[in-house]
Structure 1
Amino acid sequence: MFRDLGEYLDSIKARDPAPRSRWEVLLYPGILAVGMHRIAHWLFKGELYFFARFINHIARFLTGIDIHPGAKIGRHLFIDHGFSVIGETAEIGDNVTIYQCVTLGGTNPANGVGGKRHPTIEDDAILGSGAQILGPITVGRRARIGANAVVTQDVAEGATMVGVRARPTLVQVEQYQKEFTPYGTPCSEVFDPATQKLEILQCEMEQLQKRIAAYAEERDSGSADKITDERDSA
Structure 2
Amino acid sequence: MERIDKIWNNFSKLKLKHRSSIKPFEDRWQEQEEIFEYMTKGFENNDLQRCRYDFEQLRDNSRHILQMMRQQNITIDEMITISEETLKMLNNDKILSIYRDWIADFIKKLRVRVDPVCWNRIQEAFSEKIRKKKIDFGLDYNEDILQFKNALRDFGINIEEYELLLRFKKESNIIFHKSSKQTSDDAKKLLDTFPDEYKHVKDLLLKIINILE
The structure whose RCO (Cα within 8 Å, separation 6+) is larger is 2
> Do these two structures clear the TM 0.5 threshold for a shared fold by scoring above it?
no
Q: Going by fraction, where is helix more abundant, 1 or 2?
A: 2
- Which structure: larger Rg? 2
Q: TM-score range by the shorter chain?
A: under 0.3
Q: What TM-score comes out, normalization by structure 1 length?
A: 0.25
Q: What TM-score comes out, normalization by structure 2 length?
A: 0.27
Q: Going by fraction, where is strand more abundant, 1 or 2?
A: 1
